[in-house]
Amino acid sequence: MFALLFSAINVLLYHYPFYIFVNSRLDILNANGFILLISLILCALLLNALVFYIGLYVLRKVGKGIIALFFIINAIAIYFINTYGVILDRSMIGNVVNTNYEESSAFMSIGLVVYLFLLGVLPSFFLFKIGIVYVSVKRFCIHIFLTLVVLLTIAYANSPNWLWVDKNSKTLGGLVMPWSYVVNTVRFYNHKNKSNQKQLVLPDAKIKNTSKSVVVLVIGESARSSNFSLYGYGKETNPLLSKIDNLHNFTTQSCATYTTAGLKCILEHKNTNKLYEILPNYLYRNGVDVIWKTTNWGEPEVTVPNFQNKQKLRTDCDSGICDYDEILLNDLENEIITSTKDKILIVLHTSTSHGPTYYKKYPKAFENFTPVCKSVELADCTEQELINAYDNTILYTDYLLANVISRLQTLEEYQSAMLFISDHGESLGENNLYMHGIPASLAPKEQLDIPFIVWQSGGSRALKTDQDHSQHNVFHSVLDFLAVDSPIFDEEMSIYEK
Ligand SMILES: [Zn+2]
């Protein structure tokens, strides 16, 4: 009762900005919007009660002290959210952590003192005034189990609303007290540690010959193989690729269901918990010209000088394609021809099939499958509309890949290859699941089955005929194609015949 009472106080006192935001993004007069609002409040109430309950039971008095501290920080946070409209996400925590005393004292005001007293000190006073009756361990466990069952039921019953939650997760997460600052402080330090993580240096490599060759590695985002007609899909989503000679597609599964882990698998020479020197860094250090172009994010640190992110690409772009992934292809042949090196790797990290707003990821001319879903509130769309929008992103991917290949075909003095592989798959409503991110061991096949499509210029290399494929083929195949000899090269893992 104590945990529930103070969870209710927490939900009541510190979530005004949260309700304002939900109300502005949701039609709460409509049945689905109303149910979602009630579900969000219930979840916040039960989750907080659960954490408070466990904290109080295990830590007793210390638990009370921590909740009081939360209330006081909540009061300060609410003051800043209401006054300055800030969102307590990871980068905002970074700002707070990096603020010095002089800067922070400038924020002192009467308003802040009033907030602190009414919303921080007063509830904390009652927290210590009221006594707690502790239950037996058995009842404690039963309470936790029942709360979890109710929470999971609410989550599952709301699965059509996950896209809405996902779309707004950053803001929602920044407005839920006290977890916005607790989780984002942890995320801030985690991220800081990760970006400082040194890549383990691989043994030096040697380039075996001086013939000119180029590999364009296209990394897909949330592309699943089952919606490619190359993989047997009923709709014609690969009208261009299906007409190209020397093109092959392999049955492949991703090693993870989220971007950062999928990228690590594509770029590393083997699957480990450590972080080894990734493909672009390794090749660049050993004399290959490497260009990385991206409209996405999530790769381990790329240290090649020619790194072109979305902002850089957009600054250099002045046509109708600047908002779409075709921007990655700008100047492609020129970059190859003007390179002073014999061996070139170009990585194009796309974002075309990223949800939930699939319809925004391709130009209008590619809206072939209609009608398309244009809302993140799934209740407003049929499943077919969602799939249509997704299929249009695959149709656009087909165009992008065919475009890369036709550009490479014009460079006759180069042996060239195009490799396309996705970071992970995507759920589009199968088993009531959407998007991706279910842990790989539990994930449905839609989130794991990815396209791995390769093309090489005529007479360059033959492909092995029977081989199992994974994202780790990429590293060894690129080394092989560019004739890079290395002690860590695994001939078995290359897709090319000797
Ligand atoms: Zn991804």
Environment class of residue 234 by beta-carbon count within 10 Å: exposed (0-12), middle (13-18) or buried (19+)? exposed
Contact present, 427 and 445 (Cβ < 8 Å): no
Query: How are beta strands 247-253 and 289-294 bridged, if at all?
Result: unpaired
Q: How far is the CA of 238 from the centre of ligand 1 (A)?
A: 21
Tell me how far CA of residue 122 lies from CA of 74, 114, 127, in angstroms: 13, 11, 9
Q: How far is the CA of 28 from the centre of ligand 1 (A)?
A: 32
pLDDT of 179 above 90? no
The 10s digit of each residue's pLDDT in 289-326 is 999 999 998 899 999 999 999 999 999 888 889 999 99
Q: How far is the CA of 58 from the centre of ligand 1 (A)?
A: 39
Position 475: which residue type? F
Give the pair of three-digit tokens for residue 208.
């075996």
Residues β-bridged to residue 344: 214, 289
Contact present, 258 and 437 (Cβ < 8 Å): yes
The 10s digit of each residue's pLDDT in 199-209 is 999 999 999 99
Contact present, 247 and 455 (Cβ < 8 Å): yes
Q: How far is the CA of 440 from the centre of ligand 1 (A)?
A: 13
pLDDT at position 379: 57
The 10s digit of each residue's pLDDT in 80-108 is 777 766 677 776 777 676 665 655 666 66
- Give the neighbor-by-neighbor strand order of the sheet with 415-422: 307-308, 289-294, 343-349, 213-220, 415-422, 449-456, 247-253, 469-470
Contact present, 164 and 434 (Cβ < 8 Å): no
Q: How far is the CA of 74 from the centre of ligand 1 (A)?
A: 33
Q: How far is the CA of 256 from the centre of ligand 1 (A)?
A: 10
The 10s digit of each residue's pLDDT in 422-473 is 999 999 988 877 788 877 888 899 999 999 999 999 888 999 998 999 999 9
Q: How far is the CA of 436 from the centre of ligand 1 (A)?
A: 8
The 10s digit of each residue's pLDDT in 210-219 is 999 999 999 9
Give the pair of three-digit tokens for residue 347.
């990585």
Give the pair of three-digit tokens for residue 396.
């656009």
Q: How far is the CA of 424 from the centre of ligand 1 (A)?
A: 6
Q: How far is the CA of 11 from the centre of ligand 1 (A)?
A: 33
Q: How far is the CA of 222 from the centre of ligand 1 (A)?
A: 5
Q: How far is the CA of 331 from the centre of ligand 1 (A)?
A: 26
Kindly indicate the confidence band of residue 273, based on its pLDDT and cuts at 50, 70 and 90. Answer: confident
Q: How far is the CA of 219 from the centre of ligand 1 (A)?
A: 10
Looking at per-residue confidence, does 195 or 225 come out higher? Answer: 225
The full set of domains in the chain, from first to last, is 2-196 (no CATH), 206-493 (3.40.720.10)
